[in-house]
C-alpha cells in the first residue's frame, strides 16, 4: 500500500473527504513517525514542499484531524498551539528551546492523586516535564 493510499485510508476511516489539501497535509503527518508541530510550521513545510495551502485551511484541517482523533493538542505555553501525531496516552518533556519529546505513559505512575471533587471525574492527566540545561 502506497503512502498516499495509507493517508487516503486514514482519512476515509475518519470520515473525512480525501481532498487535495488533506492528502497533502496528511502525507506530511501520517508517515509513521511521531511528531510535534505548530500550524505555522506545517504551513511552512507544505509550502516548501510546493503545496499551496492557505493558513486558514491548515488550521481548519488540523482541527478536523484533531476532532477525528488523528491528532492531539499539547499545551505547553500560552502562545502557539502545538499538535502531536501521537494520540496514545503519553506525557512530554519540554526542552529549553521549546521542542517536545514524548514520554510513554506506560512506564509512569502517579501516586497520591486526590479524589476529584464531588460531581467531577478525571478526564485526563497531563504531565509536562520542563527541562533546562544540565547543572
Q: Which residues contact a second copy (rule: CB under 8 A)?
A: 73, 75-81, 93, 95-96, 101, 103, 107-114, 116-135
User: Least CB distance from residue 111 to DNA, whole Å?
Assistant: 33
Q: Which is nearer to DNA, 5 or 118 (CB)?
A: 5
Distance of CA 121 to the CA centre of its chain: 24
Contact present, 70 and 87 (Cβ < 8 Å): yes
Q: Compose the 13-52 pattern: x for residues touching DNA by CB under 7 A, - for all others.
A: ---xxxxxxx---------------xxx-----------x
**DSSP letter at 41?**
H
Spatial distance between the Cα atoms of 22 and 11, rounded to a whole number of angstroms: 8
Q: Where are the alpha helices (DSSP H) in 14-93?
A: 20-29, 39-48, 55-67
| 66 interacts with DNA by CB under 7 A | no
User: Least CB distance from residue 118 to DNA, whole Å?
Assistant: 29
Q: Which is nearer to DNA, 27 or 105 (CB)?
A: 27
User: Least CB distance from residue 123 to a second copy, whole Å?
Assistant: 4
Q: Which is nearer to a second copy, 1 or 123 (CB)?
A: 123
Which residue, among 47, 15, 13, 34, has the nearest Cα to 25 in the 3D structure? 47
Spatial distance between the Cα atoms of 30 and 33, rounded to a whole number of angstroms: 7
Quick count: other Cβ atoms within 10 Å of Cβ 46? Answer: 19
For DNA, the binding residues (CB under 7 A) are 16-22, 38-40, 52-57, 59-61, 63, 78-81
Amino acid at each position: 500500500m502506497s503512502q498516499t493510499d495509507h493517508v487516503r485510508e486514514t482519512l476515509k476511516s475518519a470520515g473525512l473527504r480525501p481532498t487535495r489539501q488533506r492528502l497533502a497535509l496528511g502525507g506530511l503527518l501520517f508517515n509513521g513517525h511521531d511528531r510535534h508541530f505548530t500550524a505555522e510550521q506545517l504551513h511552512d513545510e507544505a509550502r516548501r514542499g510546493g503545496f499551496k495551502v492557505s493558513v486558514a485551511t491548515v488550521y481548519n484541517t488540523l482541527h478536523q484531524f484533531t476532532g477525528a482523533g488523528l491528532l492531539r493538542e499539547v499545551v505547553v505555553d500560552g502562545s502557539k498551539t502545538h499538535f502531536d501525531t501521537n494520540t496514545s496516552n503519553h506525557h512530554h518533556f519540554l526542552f529549553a528551546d521549546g521542542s517536545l519529546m514524548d514520554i510513554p505513559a506506560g512506564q509512569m505512575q502517579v501516586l497520591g492523586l486526590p479524589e476529584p471533587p464531588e460531581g467531577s471525574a478525571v478526564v485526563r492527566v497531563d504531565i509536562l516535564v520542563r527541562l533546562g540545561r544540565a547543572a
